[in-house]
Amino acid sequence: VSRPVEVRIEALGAQGDGLARAPDGTRLYVPGALPGERVAVRVQGRRGDGLLAEVRDILETAPDRARPFCPLFGRCGGCALQHLDPRTHAAWKKAQVEESLARRGLGLLVAPVVLVPRGTRRRATFGILRTAAGVVLGFSARLSHRVIDLPACPLLTPALNDLLGPLREALADVLRPGERGTVKVTRTVDGIDVLLGLKREPGPRECRSLAGVEAVGRFSWRGEDGGVPEPLLQLRRLHVSLSGQAVEFPPGAFLQPSPEGEAELVRLVRDGCAGARRVFDLHAGLGTFAFALAGDGATVKAFEADEAAVAAMRQAAGRAGLGGRLAAEARDLDRRPLAGGELKGCDALVLDPPRAGARAQAEALASAGKGPERLVAVSCDPATLARDLRILVDGGWRVERLVPVDQFPFAAHVEAVAFLSR
Ligand SMILES: C[S@@+](CC[C@H](N)C(=O)[O-])C[C@H]1O[C@@H](n2cnc3c(N)ncnc32)[C@H](O)[C@@H]1O
Where does the pLDDT of residue 108 fall: very low under 50, low under 70, confident under 90, or very high at 90 and above? confident
Distance, CA of 307 to CA of 328 (rounded, Å): 10
**Can you give the pLDDT at residue 369?**
83
Distance, CA of 233 to CA of 350 (rounded, Å): 36
**Can you give the pLDDT at residue 144?**
87
Active site residue 346: no
Where does the pLDDT of residue 24 fall: very low under 50, low under 70, confident under 90, or very high at 90 and above? very high
| Residue 338 alpha carbon to ligand 1 centre in Å | 15
The reply to whether ligand 1 has any atom less than 6 angstroms from the CB of 352 is yes
Q: pLDDT tens across 26-78, in order?
A: 999 999 999 999 999 999 999 999 999 999 999 999 999 999 999 999 999 99
| Triad 412, 20, 382: Cα angle to 5° | 30
HSE at residue 360, side-chain half, CA atoms within 13 A, is 12
Our mutation pick for probing the ligand 1 site, out of 254, 332, 334, 355, counting the most ligand atoms within 8 A of Cβ, is 254
Work out the number of other CB atoms within 10 angstroms of the CB of residue 45. Answer: 9
Torsion sign over Cα 315, 318, 319, 320 = positive
State the average pLDDT over residues 398-422: 95
Instruction: Report how far apart, in Å, the C-alpha atoms of 10 and of each of 20, 21, 27, 295 are.
Output: 6, 8, 11, 49
Our mutation pick for probing the ligand 1 site, out of 304, 363, 413, counting the most ligand atoms within 8 A of Cβ, is 304
| Triad 100, 102, 108: Cα angle to 5° | 100
State the average pLDDT over residues 69-93: 94
Report the C-alpha dihedral over residues 261, 285, 359, 422, rounded to 10 degrees: -70
State the average pLDDT over residues 15-19: 94
**Can you give the pLDDT at residue 143?**
80
Stretch (H or E) spanning 391? helix 382-394
Q: Share the mean pLDDT of the chain.
A: 95
Checking if the pLDDT of 94 tops 80, the result is yes
Checking if the pLDDT of 2 tops 80, the result is no
The reply to whether ligand 1 has any atom less than 6 angstroms from the CB of 166 is no
The residue from 76, 153, 207, 380 that is catalytic is 380
**Helix %, strand %, coil % for the chain, to 5?**
25, 30, 45
Stretch (H or E) spanning 95? helix 86-103
Distance, CA of 229 to CA of 30 (rounded, Å): 39
**Can you give the pLDDT at residue 225?**
84
Distance, CA of 177 to CA of 195 (rounded, Å): 20
Q: pLDDT tens across 342-353, in order?
A: 999 999 999 999
Where does the pLDDT of residue 183 fall: very low under 50, low under 70, confident under 90, or very high at 90 and above? very high
The reply to whether ligand 1 has any atom less than 6 angstroms from the CB of 289 is yes
The reply to whether ligand 1 has any atom less than 6 angstroms from the CB of 354 is yes
Q: Which residues pair with 193 in a beta bridge?
A: 186, 218
Q: pLDDT tens across 239-285, in order?
A: 999 999 999 999 999 999 999 999 999 999 999 999 999 999 999 99
**Can you give the pLDDT at residue 224?**
84
